[in-house]
Structure 1
């Protein structure tokens, strides 16, 4: 497994979640390609941490479907499986629909403004072709209602299945993310107006615009 030579290490005090996010993002952005073997020792050296948080992160990535672990053999980056993506997309859509339906009308003005600013950052990133920044801003938009709702079960489900879909999202934002800017804006304004039914419908349909066969 070739470790990127120009990638700086991270502080040894990294929390397990930080290690997980670094490895997740490296798979999503294509640093580690489908079929590539991941060795915990090399990854630990790359990140500047012990093997323990790396092994824990690989287990989480396995649960998300981003890696496939063969007992006693190796851990490899999974291929993009259309059925698995469709299944994950459908679950994610249902969770966001539920969160938006329940929090609309109770979301603070500050949270609405944070969503608007995140969508502005998303638009700027799409215009600049900065796909990593677009993915980050997109995640912020959708996670604000989830965080405000405070339903840990929804958050846990999203944490498990989001990474699998992010790889396909990246492909969409690479070709055209401008349509998402408008849909995000519509979702935000419906939530600001307190229209829970319409906002939930947009939240659900937004995820179903994602082609699972990419």
Structure 2
């Protein structure tokens, strides 16, 4: 179970996330996100951008299926761990690891798939602005996949009242997509099983938005 160091300063995003990752040898499960696997498994590999890649499970999975991946995170600790994961998986040559604080800098280029999986943070994060930049990075015919939380888990009711977890419809609206230039393929909520800190299975509501640039 991941513990939280309450002494970390949430006003310094880089320090906060480096500290969180440094607390444990592994922060996440090491497995790719289920929705990414479901939606990308049948795609023809091309260029992919993984926003907030963490320890690199999604990027490694994509690279293993033939994608050329640009993967970015704010934490150098996470990126170093991700690079090691890629090397062990034999796909290091297919992934470009870049450190970005996405509200300030953003990877260059156009991509056939841009993936944002649970891009949430207790630190300052201009999520809507970042996702609009993500949409602008999608190549013609390419896809933007956004997975996020739509509500707080039942065992943690609204612990951060200042943080709004948007519905999928709100996510689409916030992208300010050019009319006629995009096709919305998925805009829906779904329930996901998750263990509470005490190890009890519970349900959490997430949202999926998948759009294609025409």
TM-score with structure 1 setting the length: 0.26
TM-score with structure 2 setting the length: 0.26
Which protein has the larger Cα radius of gyration, Structure 1 or Structure 2? 1
- In terms of fraction of residues, the more helix-rich structure is 1
